Structure 1
Amino acid sequence: MEAQMEQIRDQQKETWNKFSPGWRKWDDFTMDFLRPMGDAIIHSLQLNDTDTVLDIAAGTGEPGLTIATIVKNGKVVITDLADGMLDVARDKAAQKGITNYETVLCDVCDLPFDDETFDAVSCRFGFMFFPDMQRAANEMARVLKPGGRIATAVWSTPDKNFWVTATMSTLNKHMQLPAPPPGAPGMFRCGNPGFIADLFRKAGLKNISEQEITGQVKYGDKETYWTFMNDVVAPVVAAMSKAAEAMKQKIRNDVFDLVDQKYPNTAIDYGAIVISAEK
């Protein structure tokens, strides 16, 4: 892997390990929020109960742990780059009595598995953060058995994800944050229709389909929304750490005003795309 790609990967690993306590704290909330995309992935995979499934960039364990309850006579291998996130996944599996799984700490761009190992591959909200997305798609295709299926979810475009842009646009207005380098990891990097489909096509996959999923995140109140963003969303935390107290308060107030204007009940729109394919 090129030095720049390795640097991005190491930064991602550091970031996700740093934020794993926040993800543990908010796990019930985030898993409820992200469940529709996980359910769509599972539906697309057309699983059998004897399948061996790879769940990539699984974070705190989903949709891999849910898949494990479906492939009762099979197995799920749950991977992530951050061991702090996998610690949460293992604790959740123990709480739920799930045993037909294992966790593997690894880089998606260099999967430690033989060719044609898995009946299915899932990846929920991982692609946007991979240093080399085409290499990641190629690796997923490599370890997938002929006839096997793959499904992934990515965030759609910014205009469909006010739950993120309400805060990020306000931060940018007040702090003039530097633009990320072209192609840098980011939430909306894969949001344009056809983007992931093209990666899959180049990886040799076929029968590719896309499904748009929209909904609302129900925060309950603005304070919960603000706390969530500051516990879990890395760019928000990084920017706020550089702001003076008066500026932090100004940003918070402006975000609250913006949310009130569009979503006074604090149920805020999100949009995602689920892309599936076959080898």
Structure 2
Amino acid sequence: MTSLVATSAARRRKDRVARAMLALGTGIALVPLGLILYYLLRKGLGAWSWHFFTTDPTGSFLGDPGGIRSAIVGTVVIVALAALMAVPLGVGVALYLTEFGRDGRLARGVRFLIDVMTGVPSIVFGLFIYISLVVTGIAGSFAGWKGSIALALLMLPVVARAAEVVLLLVPQSLREAAFALGAPRWKVVFSVVVPTALPGILTGTLLAVARAAGETAPLLFTAAIVNGTTLNLGDRMNSLPAQIFQDVGQAQDRLVARAWGAALALVAMILLLTLVARLLQKRNRLA
């Protein structure tokens, strides 16, 4: 009995030490994040105003620099088109891997390609679209839809991997019950599997969108930078990352302040998307 008590006390001490080390590591990891958020709030909040969000950049170095309306609109439009391209394709790839290909040779090859695409730097996707669509002059020069393609390539492996993980969590008993009722495989997939996994798929989609919204390099090579607001994806379009890139190196303090304000707006957008994704993920776990 004495030996068991001593062992239990030793385990409790080790548990407390381990918990303290984990708490310390978490605190150390949160310090840089807290400093970044503090610095962004300190530098960016001063630039926020109604004028800041409702006017376009003027291009003036000495006068009123304008706001970031065109950058916000361009970011939303470009990322929305990218999501329309990447999400159906990514979910389709995940459905093939989980419901049809499984452990086949083609499925293993597709998984390998997805893993490779996940590790490719975003600038490589931008250069690929730049060389294949911009330099060759297909449908004009720089255009918003070309930026959307670059971002869609970036989002595709994230959506596919997230959807595959969620689809694998759907209980096999649900599929077997549907098959026992005589439902064909395609109906089982779209009437049972996909609705069950939908909250998780939405979570992965929002995380992919949040990642794509903050990318700068692909848009610099494909959509370029303009001042005016436009909804025409066939023309050059502005975006928040590109606007920040252009303003932050300027010698004019008001342009640098606009860059900080745009950076804070971009972080707020991504934070909002991430929070929505986490809420959907929590709802999926509770269900």
**What TM-score results when the alignment is normalised by the length of structure 1?**
0.21
Q: Pick the structure with greater CA Rg.
A: 2
Instruction: Report 1 or 2 for greater relative contact order, CA contacts < 8 Å, sequence distance ≥ 6.
Output: 2
**What TM-score results when the alignment is normalised by the length of structure 2?**
0.21
More helix by share: 2
